[in-house]
Structure formats: C-alpha cells, structure tokens
Structure 1
C-alpha cells in the first residue's frame, strides 16, 4: 500500500511539474444589472445567514479561521530514494565523483549526496524532483555481492576484500534503508569482473596493474595530458614475454569461463540474501532490483554469465514481489561503466518502475 501511494504521489508531482496551470478571471459584466425585487431585499435583510455586512461592519473571524488564513501551506513531503550498488551506481567514469583516501582505502561517503548529476541516481532525483537529502547514492566502488550482504546486515565489512582492496564502514546505511520509501539494488558485475582483473594481473606478472588502475578508476575517459601520459606508460609495461602471453591467452579462452562459472552461485546466493535483508529492514519500501550490464559482450563466457544472472534476478523479483528493472541496452565505456547516455537510460527505466509500482 505504501509504495502504491508513493507512486501516485510521484506521478502527480511530475504531472504538475511539467505543466503550468493558467488562471482565467471572468471579465466584468457590462451594462446595468436589474434591481432586486423589494420582497427579496427584505427577505435577505431578515435572514442573518445571508445578511450582507455594511461598510462599517466586518464579518467576525474566529481564532481558528484567522490561523488558517495566516498559516503557510505545508510543503509536499518528498519520498526518500536510496540506491545500493557498486561503482556503476556511484557514477565512476563520470566527472566529480566524491571520494577521499583513508586508512581502510577509499572513503566515498562524500558521494552519498555529492554524486554527479549525470549518474542514474542524480537523473532519477531530477526527474522526480528530489533534493540531495531525499536521493541517497550508496554506490561503493569495488563492492562485491558478499560485501553488500555484510553492509546491509551490520553497516560495515568485517575485513578488507583482498581481491578489490576495499573495506567500507558506514553504519548510517542501515538507517537510510530503514527510512527509505524506495530502494534500488544494483549488484553482480564485480563478482566476475574483479576476479578477472586479478587474474590478468597474475597472468602478466602485474605488468597490467597501472592500466587496471586507470580503467577501474574511470580515468580512462579523461582527456587531460597527465592521464594520456599515464595510459601510454602503462601500455609500454604490457610488453609481455611468451609465457605471459600464453597465460593471458589461456585466461581469455578458458580461464574466464571458470571465473564466471564460479561467480554465478556466489552472486545468486548473495543477491537473494541482500533482498531478504533489505525487505526485513523495511517491509513497506518499494524495492527495485536492477539488472546487470555486461561490460564484455564479445566474450561468450561473460554473455552466458550475465544472461543467467539477469534471468535469476527477474525470477527472484517475482518470488519476493519486488520490481525487476532490466537494463539490457545500457551503453558502457571501455572502463566497463555506463556512459552518460547509459545512466540516462537506466534512470528512465527506474522512474518508470517507480511510477508503475
């Protein structure tokens, strides 16, 4: 019931935001009006309910009426939209992603409300008329599904993820989830992507480390001279020996298939756990499960993994009576993250799901 009311309220808000209503005043009547009959005038004068006040006599106003006249209209309450996810949700690859370094790695709490306007959370907020206090971006770069399970249960990761190198501790996540009216969950890509990056590092004896850092940070899109120089330097390091070349080839032909095969049961179990936990935290919220995007569609093993994962997520949404948001045509860059157009596409699908929810 709560999410139905939210959907109706948002639809009404968007309707009135898109159209301006003009007020039309009637033109004054021309010519003289007929004088009222004497009997009607007497009857009106005798009936106190219809007696017109004289120029000196003003109608009495009660205290309650006076308060109603002076009180300012209350602002319509905005729903709270909370977005869970990884670097895709955070907007990595776009400009002005807010983060800082700390002892545990990277602190992205600045990005919870300071996220780029172009990311899908920002575009959903703009479409629905939500301010930054009512559209919270909890996208965490490098996050894998097992990490998200811990975060939605305890608000922190018990230890560093040795594959991604991230460790997050944000107890406020639980409060955001409990208070939210709408919650979106985007997860699954990193369960295959992060192990692949690590496997490439091992195959190249970590000659690929600098290049991987540029790609994963989203800086690959940058046009500034420093980034170009760093990219060229990282490519020079990729002069592989024969054994390293063979290792990379084996990874592409068979190793990635094993990575995706191993990732699928882990991802599905963890995504189910996340959905169950979020639903228990907030039984009344509208929950949106966003489909995964495939950053490497030319590899059969990856296509198979993402096809199976999206099919599972759709079935899971039906079981838990939540909304599945398929985003099969989200455009991505070489860094694996959506383009501005890709984020816009995802945002449109989310808004449509909210309105229909």
Structure 2
C-alpha cells in the first residue's frame, strides 16, 4: 500500500496530503532564549506530557465555561466517535458540540480543568472556512452553501454559546488554502481523485479497517491519469499552489480580524485564545510561507485585541492533516497553560 502511495506521489497523481509529515518537522518558531537549540526546544515541548504540572491538581468542577471555535481539527476529525449526521445542507455536527471524542483537545482541556460537557463545548465544524465562521459568529447562520466545501451550517446557538463563555479559543485558517487545493486537484484529475479526497477529508485514511483499505484501493485504481491530467497536476503543485496560498492569506487575515472583533464585542469579558496554525505539508514552500505569515498575523491580532496567542508548532499530525491523539494532547496542554496563566 505504501509503495502505491509513493509511486503515485512521484507521478504527481497523489493528493498533496501524501506529502504531509508530522508538523514538528517544520521549522519551529524561534525560542525566546537564544541559548536553546531547536532540538532542545522540541524535546521540551514533547516531554511536557510527562512532567508534573498544575493541571494535574484537583480542580473545582465547572469553574469556567470553555467554548472552542474551529474547523475539523477542533472537531476531532480522524479520531473515533466524531458525532455528525447528514442533512439536506450537508452534515449536521451539532451532536458533536457536547458529544465530541474525549481525546480531542477540547475533551482533554475539559478533563484537565474538571469541566463537564456543558462547560467544555466544541464548536468545531469540518470544512468550515474563515468567511463561513465570520457569518456564524455574527448571526449563527450561513446565508448560502459554500460551493467549494459543500457545507452550509446554521446554528443560531453559536452566538449564545459565545456570550456565555469565560474562555473562547479560535482555531482557523487551514481550510482557506486546503479546500481550494482539494477542489483544484479534483478539477486537474477530472474528479478521478474524488473518492480519495473523501477518504482523506473524512479522517478515515488512518483507519486500519478492511472497509477503509478496500475503499482506498478502489480510489487509487481510479487515479490512472492521462498525459494532460498529469500535466495539470504538476502545474497545480508548482504554480497553482502559490496562487491558492497568495489568494488565501488576505482573505484569512481579514476574516480572522473580524471574527476576533465580533467575539470580543459579543463577550468583552471572556479570555480569547487564538490558536496558531500547524503546517501539515512543510515540504511545499508555498504552504510554509502561508502558515508562517498567518501565524505572525495571529500574534499581532492577539496583541491588538488583548487576546492570547497559543503557538502549537510541534503538534503531530497524520497524513490526513489532522492531529494525532498526542497532537491533540499537546494542543490541550498549551491551552490549559494559557488559561491558567490568566487565573
């Protein structure tokens, strides 16, 4: 199976997620202490799971309400028991608001802070782009379907959740580049990649079940590309990606600013955490540049609005671009530390 994936990647017929490596392989942000080497910093970040911290102390139950805004990373896609149902507008993930996997970072934050699921709420929406989230935090509804992602979410309770929260985290930005890339890959292959993309986006790529293996084999068989399709894929990797990322950054940064401003207006007393982005494809320079600029902008945004920027450069990810269980634990640990620093 692995040989097939590598062969397809080399022939430019594989979805760009095959180029993904764990996010900590990307160049980390500089340490505040210049004496620390990259290896030392990485070791400290990874070993934080095994050291004693105040998060292990008994917490007063439900002392705060934590609300997490985000995309499929926040929702826990790729982990088990993500709660959703199909409806006429795509999928309904409202079941996951409180029925999320305990291993996603929202669940692990709740466990560390002794919060039940009425006080640790997961508003992660698979496929959501920043422009969609902007509509949702303003009105609780998307006026129309996002034709790129195929999603249309309508949750009026979003606004109430934001207003009632003590801590609100915002994790967004990846889909502004990722979704157009998946669509462009589909167009380049005349949608022969559609089934494979569905497996990747659903998080099922990491499943070892026979059903997933059979589905993956069938999707790979369809990736027998013509010469013109191969040329289109190469063009996407070497020039198309640059255009996608160049177009995504102005929109992402503008929407993120408005999202933070709206959340601040709805709940001026809440602690706002802006979660940094991880780069699931550091082998592609255009993506590295996009995420570097996005993270730098988020730091500035946090300063302007009195929020806290939470950097997560070493979050481990799978080939589907979503964090592993350890990756979620790492993100949760960083969030808990940011919350406790304000208490």
Shorter-chain TM-score tier = 0.7 to 0.9
The separation in 1 between residues aligned to 2:125 and 2:55, in whole angstroms, is 29
- Residue aligning to 1:37: none
Q: Does residue 349 of structure 1 match 2:334?
A: yes
The separation in 1 between residues aligned to 2:179 and 2:197, in whole angstroms, is 10
Q: Does residue 302 of structure 1 match 2:284?
A: no
Deviations 1:65-109 (A, max 9, x none): xxxxxxxxxx86521000000000000000000000011110000
- Residue aligning to 1:122: 107
Runs ≥4 residues deviating over 2 A: 13-16, 75-78
- Aligned with 2:336: secondary structure? helix
Q: Pick one of 231, 242, 248 that aligns with 2:216.
A: 231
The separation in 2 between residues aligned to 1:255 and 1:304, in whole angstroms, is 14
Q: Does residue 193 of structure 1 match 2:178?
A: yes
**1:183 Cα deviation after fit:** 0.2
Relative to structure 1, the CA distance from residue 113 to residue 205 in structure 2 (aligned partners, 3 Å threshold; closer, same or farther) is same
- Residue aligning to 1:17: 58
Structure 2: gaps (5+ residues): 1-53
Q: Does residue 218 of structure 1 match 2:186?
A: no
> Is contact 2:55-2:336 (8 Å) kept?
no
The separation in 1 between residues aligned to 2:340 and 2:271, in whole angstroms, is 11
Relative to structure 1, the CA distance from residue 16 to residue 311 in structure 2 (aligned partners, 3 Å threshold; closer, same or farther) is closer
> Is contact 2:277-2:312 (8 Å) kept?
yes
Relative to structure 1, the CA distance from residue 253 to residue 179 in structure 2 (aligned partners, 3 Å threshold; closer, same or farther) is same
Relative to structure 1, the CA distance from residue 76 to residue 113 in structure 2 (aligned partners, 3 Å threshold; closer, same or farther) is closer
Mapping of residues 48-59 of structure 1, within 5 Å: none
Q: Does residue 314 of structure 1 match 2:314?
A: no
The separation in 2 between residues aligned to 1:81 and 1:196, in whole angstroms, is 32
- Residue aligning to 1:143: 128
| CA RMSD, 1 decimal | 1.4
- Per mean C-alpha deviation after superposition, the further-off stretch among 147-156 and 75-84 is 75-84
- Aligned with 1:17: secondary structure? coil
- Aligned with 2:274: secondary structure? strand
Mapping of residues 41-120 of structure 1, within 5 Å: 78-120=63-105
The separation in 2 between residues aligned to 1:93 and 1:276, in whole angstroms, is 31
- Residue aligning to 2:145: 160
| TM-score (norm: length of structure 2) | 0.83
**1:295 Cα deviation after fit:** 1.2
The separation in 1 between residues aligned to 2:250 and 2:276, in whole angstroms, is 16
**1:293 Cα deviation after fit:** 1.0
| TM-score (norm: length of structure 1) | 0.80
Q: Which has the larger radius of gyration?
A: 1
